[in-house]
């Protein structure tokens, strides 16, 4: 299995196809296996797809004291550093970043930190800001223990993360930590720094985040587009894979068409906001 060593820990990755590079970033429960219904269609359309398991997920090493790292202030910053070191190790040039839920946080953070390396950003079901502290939010949204989950979901987590890691990993996630952190989460300051074209995909029936989160997300982007997927739950890539791929490919074609005409692209994508101020929670 292909791995890259980053700070002494192996990261599992896969590369498929040839062409412009798309980097897929999994969600907070996930790993590369979750993209099985997505990446083949992107490869068929002439893209090279890179995907990897972040530290402690899937087939990547956890390292010592992973759970302490998971709830630390360093976790989110290290997600950006990890992606940059992977990019360097794999000799990747400018790429399109695609993130699902927490993967969208990594993608947005990276696009803001490295604007010269991200050609476009696409996120789906990513929280914009939390109205309550994340431990409170998680306790409400994830009331079931690992052993109380339905058989299919428990089997999926076991397949993704292994029998020794799946249960403690899930139990940690449902309390606090990860890219959404241990306090109040707010991505809006970061979004204001994203300068590339950006697509916000949002389901209308997520059990985690209200669709208005997608609107707030969109309104804090300089070159943003918003597309709502109807009759769809939180895991858009799984519930509506055809619509997911179709929306992403159409967006990438618009980026390609507008790459030599930034003024035209901004005229169609610019998110309106009141002049001279940042949009507030009640916008």
Q: What is the mean pLDDT of the chain?
A: 91
Taking residue 114's Cβ as centre, other Cβ atoms within 10 Å add up to: 15
Region 96-125: mean pLDDT is: 98
Share of the chain above pLDDT 70, in %: 91
The pLDDT value recorded for residue 173 is 87
The pLDDT value recorded for residue 234 is 96
CA angle 55, 185, 58 (to 5 degrees): 20
DSSP code, position 19: S
Region 254-259: mean pLDDT is: 86
The pLDDT value recorded for residue 149 is 96
For domain 3-131+183-267, give the CATH superfamily: Alpha/Beta hydrolase fold, catalytic domain (3.40.50.1820)
Over the stretch 154-199, which tens digit does the pLDDT of each residue have?
Answer: 999 999 999 999 999 999 888 888 999 999 999 999 999 999 999 9
* Confidence band, pLDDT 50/70/90 cuts, at residue 281: very low
Structure tokens at 178: 């990860």
Residues 233-251: b if buried by 16+ CB within 10 A, e if exposed: bbbbbbebbebbbebbeeb
Phi and psi torsions of 82, nearest 5°: -60, -45
Q: What is the pTM of this model?
A: 0.91
Block residue for tokens 């029998």 = 163
The pLDDT value recorded for residue 1 is 73
DSSP code, position 280: -
Say if residue 269's pLDDT is above 60: no
Over the stretch 6-27, which tens digit does the pLDDT of each residue have?
Answer: 999 999 999 999 999 999 999 9
Q: Which position has the higher pLDDT, 116 or 270?
A: 116
DSSP code, position 53: P
């Amino acid at each position: 299995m292909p791995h890259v060593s980053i700070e002494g820990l192996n990261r599992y990755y896969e590369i498929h196809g040839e062409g412009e590079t798309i980097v897929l970033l999994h969600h907070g429960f996930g790993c590369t296996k979750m993209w099985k219904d997505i990446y083949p269609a992107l490869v068929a359309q002439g893209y090279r797809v890179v995907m990897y398991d972040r530290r402690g997920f899937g087939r990547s090493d956890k390292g010592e004291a992973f759970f302490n790292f998971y709830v630390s202030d360093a976790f989110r910053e290290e997600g950006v550093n990890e992606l940059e070191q992977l990019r360097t190790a794999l000799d990747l040039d400018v790429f399109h970043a695609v993130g699902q839920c927490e993967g969208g946080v990594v993608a947005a953070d990276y696009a803001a930190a490295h604007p010269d390396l991200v050609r476009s950003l696409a996120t789906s079901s990513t929280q914009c800001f939390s109205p309550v502290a994340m431990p409170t939010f998680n306790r409400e949204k994830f009331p079931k223990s690992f052993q109380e989950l339905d058989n299919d979901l428990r089997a999926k987590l076991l397949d993704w993360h292994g029998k020794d890691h799946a249960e403690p990993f899930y139990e940690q996630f449902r309390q606090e930590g990860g890219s959404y952190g241990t306090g109040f989460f707010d991505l809006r300051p970061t979004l204001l720094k994203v300068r590339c074209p950006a697509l916000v995909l949002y389901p209308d029936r997520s059990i985690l985040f209200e669709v208005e989160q997608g609107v707030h997300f969109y309104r804090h982007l300089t070159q943003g587009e918003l597309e709502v997927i109807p009759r769809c739950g939180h895991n858009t890539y799984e519930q509506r894979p055809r619509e997911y791929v179709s929306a992403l490919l159409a967006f990438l074609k618009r980026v390609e068409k507008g790459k030599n005409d930034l003024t035209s692209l901004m005229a169609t994508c610019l998110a309106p906001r009141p002049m001279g101020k940042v949009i507030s929670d009640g916008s």
